[in-house]
Amino acid sequence: MLDYRAWIAAALLLLAGAGAYVYWLYRPKATYTARSLTAPHSNTKSLHVDGCQEDFITSPGELIEPLTIPGAPLDQFTKAYGDPAEHAKDGTSTWKQEAFVLTSTPSPAEAINISVNGRHVVETLDGVELGLDSFGRIFSKMQDKKVEIHERLLKDDKNWTIIVTLYSACGHKFRSEYTRSLPRDPETDREITQLPPSPGLDPNVLRSDVFMNKVAYDYTMVPSNSSNESKEGQPSEHD
């Protein structure tokens, strides 16, 4: 039988163990605060694009495009991007930057197209990050901003193409189009099926779910035949 000294020693060991557990449970813990990518910075600056309704607030390191509008004089493009790498007889000009290729087409089909080079990210004036944002993310961003957005699906013998359209953040005089094509195959054809019939909805509407996790790389800015002072006009051309 253990004497009283052994019992005392055992009790002390139990108390020490309990104290260590309590300290570990309630010890001060390290904490951190995640940095918000959308938090305002003290060194933000204003970006002015001739022809846009308002200036844009940008942060250091952001690559915001385009810096011109469709139909702008060639010297505005040259000022922003230098001499074009290609200049066709019809007036179409192409600028090849490290992160993207920009193409400007003249009247009557005025447009600016930006196609992002692989592994680069280019933010449009709308706040969409080409090369990073999926089409599902584009819908989410526009919903948060309460921006009306439209979509349509086109097909030919080789591809399915989604076109997502909205009024440009430059103003209602312009609309933005985000596009992506997928090769046609039996699996993709099965995923792009007609929506179930519903009262008041076009029975020919197709599901675009297969595109929602696909990243957008191509952007086009075109005139919308509207005005900044009116909500009338066509943010999209679906007919």
What CA dihedral angle connects 213, 152, 193 and 186, to 10 degrees?
-70
Kindly report the backbone phi and psi dihedral angles of residue 134, in degrees, each rounded to the nearest multiple of 5, phi listed first: -80, 170
**pLDDT, position 199:** 62
**pLDDT, position 108:** 86
How many whole angstroms separate alpha carbon 136 and alpha carbon 124?
Answer: 16
- Least Cα distance to 172 among 220, 126, 112, 232 occurs for 232
Domain ranges of the chain: 45-223
Q: Is the pTM of this model over 0.95?
A: no
β-pairing verdict for 56-58 and 45-47: antiparallel
Q: What is the mean pLDDT of each run of 10 residues along the chain (239 residues)?
A: 58 59 42 34 84 91 94 94 93 95 93 95 96 96 94 92 95 96 90 67 74 96 80 52
How many whole angstroms separate alpha carbon 2 and alpha carbon 202?
Answer: 89
- Least Cα distance to 154 among 124, 131, 177, 125 occurs for 177
Tokens read off for 38: 């959308």
